[in-house]
Amino acid sequence: MNCSCAALRVVRARPYGLADASVWPSDLLAYRQQWEPFIAAHLALWRNLNALLEDVPDAQRCPPGIFTVDQLASLTPTMRAFCASLGLTRIRISDTNPGGILTQWNAWAGRSSADILAGAAAMLQWHQSVVLSVGGAYKDELVQIAKLWGLHVDLPPVPSFSEQQTLIARIEGAYVAAKGILQITGYAAGQTLRMASDVAEAVADGLTETARKLPKVLTSSWTWIGVAAVAVVAGGALVAYYVPRRRVSA
C-alpha cells in the first residue's frame, strides 16, 4: 500500500480568537504539514521494502506478525538474518507498534485544544525527535537492509532552510516557551539529519537540503545469501545489525 500525506492523521483543534493568547494549534499543525511529505516518503520506502521481503517465498518460514529475537532461535543464521530484516520492516510500517513511524508521528493525535496549548513545547519537541529518528537511525536501518538487496535508495529532501526558518520564527514569536526548541534540520555527511541553530550555522556546518542518491552495493537485487545478522531486543523493538560477508553475484 502506498503512503500519502492524507494517511497521516493530524491534530485538529477548534479555532482560537485573539483573546485566547495563542494560535498555537495552527502552528503545531503547520510544523506537521511542513514535515509530513518527508515522513510519508520514508514510510513509503519502508512499505516498499516490506512488500519486497514479504514476497520472498522464505518469508513464510519467519514468525507471523511482529516477533522477538527469541522466536528466531531455531532458524539457521541466514534465515535469522532474513527474518530480522523482515521483522524490522514490519515494525517500522506498523500503525500500532511503539517502533512504528506512524505510531510515533501520531502520538499526540486526538488531543484537545486545551491539551495542545498546555503541552505545545513538549509536542513540538516530540515531533522534531520523530523527524530526527526517521531521518537518522531508522534511515540507517533502511539503507542497510536495502544495500543487502542491492537496491537503490533515494532519500527525500527536507523542507528548505528558508521555509524551516520562517516557520520556526513564526512559532517562537507566537509562543515564548517554544524558543530554542526547534532548529534548522538538514542532511550532514552520510545523509544523516542534523540540527543547527540557524541557516548560517547550517551552511557553515555543511548541512544540505537534499541527499545524494545512495548507490546499490550488491550486484543482484535478489541476494541475501552470505549475509550474517545479529539480532537483539532493545527497548522492546527488534534491532538487527547486519554484516555483509561477501559480494554475491546472481
Does 13 have pLDDT greater than 80? no
186 within domain boundaries: yes
238 within domain boundaries: yes
Tell me: the pLDDT tens digits for 202-237?
999 999 998 866 654 333 333 333 333 433 333 334
Segment 97-107 shows an average pLDDT of 93
11 within domain boundaries: no
6 within domain boundaries: no
250 within domain boundaries: no
pTM of the model: 0.75
12 within domain boundaries: no
Segment 192-200 shows an average pLDDT of 91
Tell me: the pLDDT tens digits for 148-169?
777 777 889 999 999 999 999 8
249 within domain boundaries: no
Segment 38-55 shows an average pLDDT of 91
- Please report the pLDDT score of residue 55 as a whole number: 86
Report how far residue 227's alpha carbon sits from residue 250's, in angstroms, rounded to the nearest whole number: 14
Tell me: the pLDDT tens digits for 53-69?
898 888 888 999 998 88
Q: For the chain, how many structural domains are there in total?
A: 1
43 within domain boundaries: yes
Which helix (H) or strand (E) segment holds residue 162: the answer is helix 161-174
Which of 7-11, 85-89, 116-120 is predicted most confidently?
85-89
Residue type, 125: Q
Range of the domain at 239: 21-244
